Amino acid sequence: MEILRWKPQDALVMKAPKKNPLILRMVVLLFAMVCGLYIFTFCIKQTNKLRDTNPLKIQVIDRRNWHCRTAQTQEWDFPYVHFPQPETFSRQECACNPVRFFVIVSMQRSGSGWFETLLNSHINLSSNGEIWGAQDRRRNVSMIIKTLDQVYNLDWLSSASKNECSAAVGFKWMLNQGLIAHHEAIADYFNRRGVYVIFLFRRNLLRRLVSVLANVFDKNSKPLNGTHKSHVHSQHEAQILAKYKPTLNATVLVSHLRAAEQTVAKALEYFKSTRHIVLYYEDIVRNSTKLIEVQEFLKLPQRNLTSLQVKIHSGPMSKQIENWDDVRKTLKGTSYENFLHADHKL
């Protein structure tokens, strides 16, 4: 009788049931779709961040004199802190004194001359005046950039230059001196170089118009001993210039005021991406704390700012316009009617 012996290979082998390949494919496809959706969402978020990034943050920081940057300078402030290396002189012991760049953006006869003398009374600030009077300096973008570089490198010499130890350097720029015409390139420059923009306008555009016309008359007639003076430093000179009362063209008066208003709005829109502050002449006259705000804006130590300039046109508008009745009738009932009576004590 043959005895059957058990062998390991005789063991019952349990085979796993075959998986459906269609299910596996569906699982892999679903996994791939989830991963793809996640990656796509992540990329969209990163793209939006890049689009929303403030252009002030996308700047090439000048690493010359990098050793001058102290621990007190915050990283976000690096684009606005500069250490110029002028070609016309040596800053010597002030080489590591940080300098901030600024520009006063305004319109003629808006108080910018008076405002600039106030700023220049600060021992650490140099504002070089209205440098764009010469057409050649603003005939194209290349010349404008060249002039800007010269000013901000402290190589622009003027009576206001404090040179070595200036903590802030800038100038005045009127809207009709190429600023609006080349606004894209100039705004890009301001953002790239970290320029502080100080907008200074006048609320009462009627008073500004009277000042503009009176200044044109003075330029042609020169009542002060044959000399044209846009600004004066004595009450006697102010009284002589204030004797002239311009006649306004009532027919185009409203359109003229509207055009000036639109020009201001356009400038604010074009340069809204810059680091800026908006000031009005009337507010500074009424409230001296506005000058403290400007010094804080430029990160300057606070000083008492003074000016020797004397206001030329003061008193009610009725005493300054030759055809006052025509002007009053023209503006009555319009959005500019308040210009007839506002700030008559300024």
Q: How many Å apart are CA 337 and CA 167, to the nearest integer?
A: 43
pLDDT for the residue numbered 146: 96
Three-state DSSP state, 57: helix
Query: How much is the pTM?
Result: 0.80
pLDDT for the residue numbered 54: 47
pLDDT for the residue numbered 27: 72
Mind listing the pLDDT tens digit for each residue in 70-98? 656 777 888 899 999 999 888 888 888 89
Mind listing the pLDDT tens digit for each residue in 277-324? 999 999 999 998 999 999 999 999 999 999 999 999 988 999 999 999
Three-state DSSP state, 103: strand
Low-confidence stretches of the chain (pLDDT < 70) are 1-21, 42-67, 70-72, 163, 343-346
Half-sphere exposure of 43 (CA within 13 A, CB side): 6
Cα 62-173-343 angle, rounded to 5 deg: 130
